[in-house]
Each structure stands twice: as structure tokens, then as C-alpha cells.
Structure 1
């Protein structure tokens, strides 16, 4: 099932991940050609050193998202300097629930401005949001030129849900892409999310997904 690899951001964001774990991920990328590997900012230089032309995703203000805008900007600039191609930035969930349009719009716009040609994804943590919240924040992201809305960090009570991906697709098709992440651990589930509208799958189980065999 190697064809599905092009949809997968193969991920290791474990708190206890080591340099050897990241080098192993790089070797997997060399062999299987996932869309990217997604790693912590502190390991970007390790990955880049071991494979110069690798496509790298990293996370900003992960996993809680409540750092100040200035702190997120600093992290984003540092990640770009260290070789990140994609930046997956955790949104300020409290501000979403407050419907603080001014804060959210300014933060998204500021991060879009400094990331320029890099791919920008905002994690909205759908497990904390109702449909109105999802509609609200995704509209802000689309208005400010964000490339992807990402469902989840995978560090909360639940991850991606098909219903949420379908909802975003129905309301924002052609305006913003979707990365489904959190709890996607097998081929059939990954395919369901792609069929529902996900453009990218974030998972630490990429090997299991691409090595799936029909029984």
C-alpha cells in the first residue's frame, strides 16, 4: 500500500524520543517516501544532517497552543532557520472558545507573514470544539491564507473524527486543505479519512498503514 505514503506525515512527537529514534525515522523516509516526517523542533538539525533533501514538518507551541503570539513567532522563525518545510502550529483554543476574532486573526496573520513560502497548518484541536467553533476558526484560517487546518495534536482526549473532516470539507472545499491527525493507526481508517476529504494524514503508525495486507 505504498501509494498511500504520499498522504502521510510520519510522526514521532513523543516526549522521550531520542536522537536515534529520529535517525530511524529518517531511514524510514529514505525507504518509503512519506509526504514528510513530523518531528520536534529540537531534532530538525539532526534530521536535516542525516538526509539533506528530506521534507520536514515540525510543531509550534505544541501541544497546548496557549503561548503568546510573540513566542510562537520566535519558534516559527527558529524552526525555519533549522530546516522545517511545514509548520504545524497549535491554535489558542481558549481564544477560539471565547470567539476572540481580533486576537486570533492577528495571530494567524502574523504567523502567515513571517512563514512566507512555507506550508502553514493550524491545529484546532477539534475534540474541544463544537461545529460552530470549527466553522468559526476555520473561516479565520482560510481568510488569512493558511494552507491547512489540522484536526488534532493527538495529545488530548480524542483525535480526528470523520464527521469533523466531512464538515470542514463541505464548508471550505477549495478554500483550505485538511490534515487529519490523532488516532489514525491503520490503513482502512486512513483511507476513510482521505475519502472524507483529508489531504494529509498525520500518524505515528505510517509503517503499519503502508504495510497493510488484505486477509
Structure 2
């Protein structure tokens, strides 16, 4: 198994500078990672480094809180695609989900997916803040809205992914949409366990350590 092809090589720190994004891209090319994952303002830098390579670019949207206006998320997603992003990792409005505003949460996902057309949409639900019932509901809404992936975490919450999160998510989505686990995955043993549970992508800043 080529575990490197499961990895979104990630740098989302507020302090990340251009040179660090360039280094991230160099590493992604060198080690054959599937994608890099960067903040939306850094997509152009990544695109310049990854032109004519197979490495995809994922941009985070509404990150990390998910609490901004839908219109702002749409604009950020569209600009990211224009700048060269292949994939969009958006954060849902977690407070709306917990309020029971399912229609609003689903509509936002739907609008963003429509705006980015054929680009891949990953929906971050930040499982650390959700009950099992809320995780299941978020998965249902993402599927109904046409998302390509459901994703556990931003890495900025109170914890990252857990095996129990993935089991709950897998029970809901089955093979309908894919799952991305992120947050706290730092070694090969942990990564393999997630993959064996049915995860299709792993978001990590420890990709080199994992494949080494």
C-alpha cells in the first residue's frame, strides 16, 4: 500500500510564511503525497510550486471556526479555485448544526459545491464538539448536499480525529462519500488503523514521519 497517496500534507498555522509553503510543496513532490492543504491566501504560492505535477492543492474555507457568512465562504471558495485549488476543505457552521438549523447547514454545503463545480468538496464537521447524533446528522447533510468527503477536524479544536468518530461516520456514509481523518495523526501505525477503518484521506503535518 502506498500510504503517501492517502496524505494531504498540511500547513495551516497562522504564522506560516511563503518559504514554509514552498518547502511544504517541495516535500509533497519529493515524497509523492496526494495533496497539500493550505489556507486560501496561500493557494497561489502552492500553485506556483506545483505546476505540472500530480500533487493536488486543497484550500481551507471558513477556517477554522466555520462561523462566518455563507456568502463569505462562497467567495473564498471561488477565489481559491481561481487561484489554482483542486479541492476545498470547508468548515460547517457548527453552531447552526447544534441549533438544529439543518436546512441552513445543508444549503451552505450545497451552495459551495455548486460554486466550485467539479472541484472536490470536503466538509469539516469538527467532531470534537459534536455528540454521536450530531456527527450522524452532519454526515447525512453533507451527503444530501453533494459533498465528496466528510472530514473529522480542523486540527484547531479541542482534539483531532478519533477511531470512534470514523466508525460513526462510516456507519452513516458507507461508500456514498469518502472520509478524511485529520488532527493528531502522527505515526504510521495510527494512519494505517484509520485507513483500515475506511478512511480515504489523512490530513497531517507529520506525513514525512508517517511514511518514514
User: Is TM-score (shorter-chain normalized) higher than 0.5?
Assistant: yes
1:207 is paired with a residue whose SS is helix
Q: Partner of 2:13 in structure 1?
A: 14
The answer to whether the aligner puts 1:48 opposite 2:47 as a matched pair is yes
Could you tell me how far 1:29 is from its partner in structure 2? 1.4
Could you tell me how far 1:99 is from its partner in structure 2? 1.4
Q: Partner of 1:147 in structure 2?
A: 148
Task: Give the TM-score taking structure 2 as reference length.
Answer: 0.96
What does the per-residue CA deviation read over 1:68-121, in whole Å, with 9 as the maximum and x for residues that have no partner? 100000000110010000100001000111111221121111111111100000
Q: Partner of 2:203 in structure 1?
A: 202
What does the per-residue CA deviation read over 1:119-143, in whole Å, with 9 as the maximum and x for residues that have no partner? 0001000000011001111101101
Query: Residues of 2 paired with 1:70 and 1:171: CA distance?
Result: 29
Following TM superposition, where does structure 1 have runs of at least 4 consecutive aligned residues deviating by more than 3 angstroms? Answer: none
Structure 1 residues not aligned, in runs of 5+: none
The answer to whether the aligner puts 1:82 opposite 2:83 as a matched pair is yes
Q: Partner of 1:38 in structure 2?
A: 37
Query: Residues of 1 paired with 2:171 and 2:41: CA distance?
Result: 37
Query: Residues of 1 paired with 2:93 and 2:84: CA distance?
Result: 25
Query: Residues of 1 paired with 2:154 and 2:42: CA distance?
Result: 18
Query: Residues of 1 paired with 2:133 and 2:86: CA distance?
Result: 31
Query: Residues of 1 paired with 2:62 and 2:108: CA distance?
Result: 13
Query: Residues of 2 paired with 1:185 and 1:15: CA distance?
Result: 20
Structural RMSD (CA): 1.0
Q: Partner of 1:23 in structure 2?
A: 22
> Quick check: 2:12–2:39 contact (8 Å CA) kept in 1?
yes
Q: Partner of 1:138 in structure 2?
A: 139
Could you tell me how far 1:51 is from its partner in structure 2? 2.3
Q: Partner of 2:65 in structure 1?
A: 64
